[in-house]
């Protein structure tokens, strides 16, 4: 299981070696999402910088930079269903195609992103899936210091078979569609910055039902309203306070899983030029459920992001996250998910890049005795024949320990990819 069409980046062998499973269903993360989008306001009044000497080759059309990507991956998975005992292996062919269009205007910004990712199994063709996404986000500059932010996303995804919420007897993988919209406002009055925003997300589950469970019971709408106040200590450091609501409403009133919650966080951001950018926060979260039989959640809330370039040919990224995620396991209100991960890339030569990934996820189910610990480790390499055409390969190992043995599994994945993707640094 991985974590969004930025989830789709998980399919990129550079960031997640191997045939990456579909993302877990994550709750809205307005605090990070809105704040990250709003960071762009700091340079809103300036034109885009000139491209670096090794910038990716893109097509320019009517004020947009167009970046296409296409690849074919052949992968081997020795435990397709993520089970502890009967491990079934298969070879999967994945075809990925996407295109991004980013404006290069002096004022305002508009980003468009669309793509498709299709998996075809050699033996277990019932597992074949076609995921796709279509998204747009942008910023409208009201002035040099005030900006409106907004975006839309439509996405079709599938859930990995190893998920405890994926019905074991379902003939097909669980598939679902996500429709999301966000709108925000940012105003800068140095040294203060205030950001306000809202997100609404609809989840519509399609396949994955069994004679004992109707997957449509998982259909829901999630809302979040949030704000972030920042104070710039100096050009490289910023302290901030952020808060957001978290409302979850199910289409089926009989499931009794509607809930309301909130998130509070106090944090620090440090940015040193283009080589170091880090943010972290600590706070408190709570989620209260309408059904008194479901356990309410209250816990420490934290998160962090790191982008670091310690050398010209080395790039490191890391994340830390805690969230309350939905589940339909009997007796459980939700699960408290704590995840940490890191990724490193090193250019061994101008054409050859090595990469490695390590992550850990703890899922603590609320109201039942179930806790999952999952480790993922992977390594790979990518070789560019020119600035666009590449060949990559790698390996990924996943292992999960659980209080209930049916949720434990081990998985080995190998992949080989050939594709077209303008390289970037």
Can you list the domains of the chain with their CATH numbers?
7-51+137-420 (2.40.160)
3-state helix, strand, coil in the chain (%, to 5): 10, 60, 30
> Rounded to whole angstroms, how far apart are CA atoms 25 and 76?
25
Q: β-pairing, 64-77 with 90-103?
A: antiparallel
Q: How far is the C-alpha of 202 from the C-alpha of 178, rounded, in Å?
A: 6
Per-residue confidence (pLDDT) for residue 155, from 0 to 100 = 97
Quick one: 410 exposed, middle or buried, by C-beta within 10 A (0-12, 13-18, 19+)? middle
Q: Which of 164, 208, 170, 172 is nearest to 400 (CA)?
A: 164
β partners of residue 22: none
Q: How far apart are CA 173 and CA 166, in angstroms?
A: 8
Identify the pLDDT of residue 62: 80
Task: Report the SS3 class of residue 217.
Answer: helix
Number of helices (H), then strands (E), belonging to the chain: the values are 1, 19
Distance between CA atoms of residues 10 and 398, nearest Å: 14
Q: Which long-range contacts (CB under 8 A, 24 or more apart) does 136-142 make?
A: 136/110, 136/111, 136/112, 137/37, 137/110, 137/111, 137/182, 138/103, 138/108, 138/109, 138/110, 138/111, 139/37, 139/40, 139/41, 139/44, 139/108, 139/109, 140/108, 141/44, 141/45, 141/107, 141/108
- Where b means 16+ CB within 10 Å and e means fewer, 107-141 reads eebbbbbbbebebebeeeeebebebbbebebbbeb
What integer pLDDT is reported at residue 59 of this predicted model? 74
In the numeric block, the tokens 């909130």 are attached to 262
In this prediction the pTM is 0.86
Strand partners, 25: none
- Give the span between the Cα atoms of 209 and 203, in whole angstroms: 15
- DSSP secondary structure string for all residues of 337-376: EEEEEEEEEEESSSSEEEEEEEEEEEEEEETSS-EEEEEE
The helix/strand/coil state of 179 is strand
Query: What's the Cα-to-Cα distance from 422 to each of 70, 71, 280, 372, rounded to whole Å?
Result: 10, 12, 31, 38
DSSP assignment string, 110-162: EEEEEEEEEEEESS-GGG-EEEEEEEEEEEEESSSSEEEEEEEEEEEEE--TT
Record the tokens describing residue 233, joined without a space: 């200590």
pLDDT at 327: 92
What pLDDT, on the 0 to 100 scale, is given for residue 285? 98
Q: What's the longest Cα–Cα distance across the chain?
A: 61
Judge whether 198 and 182 are in contact, CB under 8 Å. Answer: yes
pLDDT at 7: 37
Q: And the tokens for 179? A: 């429709």
- Can you tell me the distance from the alpha carbon of 258 to that of 248, in angstroms, rounded to the nearest whole number? 6
The residues that bridge with 250 in the sheet, in sequence order, are 220
Per-residue tens of pLDDT for the chain, all 425 residues: 333 333 333 344 443 333 444 445 555 555 544 444 444 444 333 334 334 334 455 677 788 999 999 999 999 999 999 999 889 999 999 999 999 999 999 999 999 999 999 999 999 999 999 999 999 999 999 999 999 999 999 999 999 988 888 876 788 899 999 999 999 999 999 899 999 999 999 999 998 888 778 888 899 999 999 999 999 999 999 999 999 999 999 998 777 899 999 999 999 999 999 999 999 999 999 999 999 999 999 999 999 999 999 999 999 999 999 999 999 888 999 999 999 999 999 999 999 999 999 999 999 999 999 999 999 999 999 999 998 999 999 999 999 999 999 999 999 999 999 999 988 65
**Tokens (6 digits) for 262:** 């909130």
- CB distance 268 to 35 below 8 Å: no
pLDDT of residue 157: 96
Query: What's the pLDDT at 423?
Result: 80
- The structure tokens listed for 88 are 């079934």
């Amino acid at each position: 299981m991985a974590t969004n069409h930025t989830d789709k980046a998980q399919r990129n062998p550079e960031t997640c070696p191997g045939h990456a499973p579909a993302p877990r269903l994550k709750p809205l993360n307005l605090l990070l999402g809105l704040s990250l989008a709003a960071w762009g306001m700091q340079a809103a009044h300036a034109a885009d910088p000139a491209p670096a000497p090794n910038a990716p080759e893109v097509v320019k059309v009517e004020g947009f930079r167009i970046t296409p990507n296409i690849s074919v991956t052949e992968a081997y998975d020795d435990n397709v269903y993520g089970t502890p005992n009967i491990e079934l292996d298969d070879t999967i062919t994945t075809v990925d195609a996407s295109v991004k269009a980013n404006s290069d205007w002096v004022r305002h910004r508009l980003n468009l992103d669309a793509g498709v990712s299709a998996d075809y199994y050699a033996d277990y063709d019932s597992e074949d899936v076609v995921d796709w996404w279509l998204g747009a986000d942008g910023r409208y500059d009201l002035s040099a210091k005030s900006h409106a932010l907004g975006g839309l996303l439509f996405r079709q995804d599938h859930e990995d078979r190893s998920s405890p919420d994926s019905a074991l007897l379902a003939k097909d993988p669980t598939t679902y569609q996500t429709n999301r919209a966000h709108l925000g406002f940012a105003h800068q009055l140095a040294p203060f910055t205030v950001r306000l925003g809202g997100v609404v997300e609809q989840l519509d589950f399609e396949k994955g039902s069994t004679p004992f469970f109707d997957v449509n019971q998982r259909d829901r709408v999630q809302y979040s309203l949030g704000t972030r106040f920042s104070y710039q200590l100096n050009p490289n450091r910023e302290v901030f306070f952020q808060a957001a609501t978290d409302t979850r409403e199910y289409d089926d009133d009989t499931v009794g899983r509607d809930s309301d919650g909130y998130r509070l966080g106090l944090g620090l951001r440090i940015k040193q030029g283009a080589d170091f950018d880090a943010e972290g926060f600590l706070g408190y979260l709570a989620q209260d459920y309408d059904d008194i039989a479901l356990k309410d959640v209250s816990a420490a809330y934290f998160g962090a992001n790191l982008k670091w370039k310690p050398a010209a040919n080395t790039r490191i990224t890391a994340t830390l996250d805690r969230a309350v995620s939905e589940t339909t396991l009997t007796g459980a209100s939700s699960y408290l998910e704590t995840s940490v991960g890191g990724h490193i890339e090193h250019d061994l030569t101008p054409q050859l890049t090595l990469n490695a990934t390590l992550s850990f996820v703890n899922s603590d189910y609320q109201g039942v005795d179930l806790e999952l610990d999952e480790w993922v480790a992977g390594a790979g390499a990518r070789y560019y024949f020119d600035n666009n055409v590449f060949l990559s390969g790698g390996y990924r190992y996943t292992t999960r320990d659980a209080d209930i043995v049916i949720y434990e599994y081990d998985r080995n994945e190998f992949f080989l990819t050939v594709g077209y993707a303008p390289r970037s640094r």
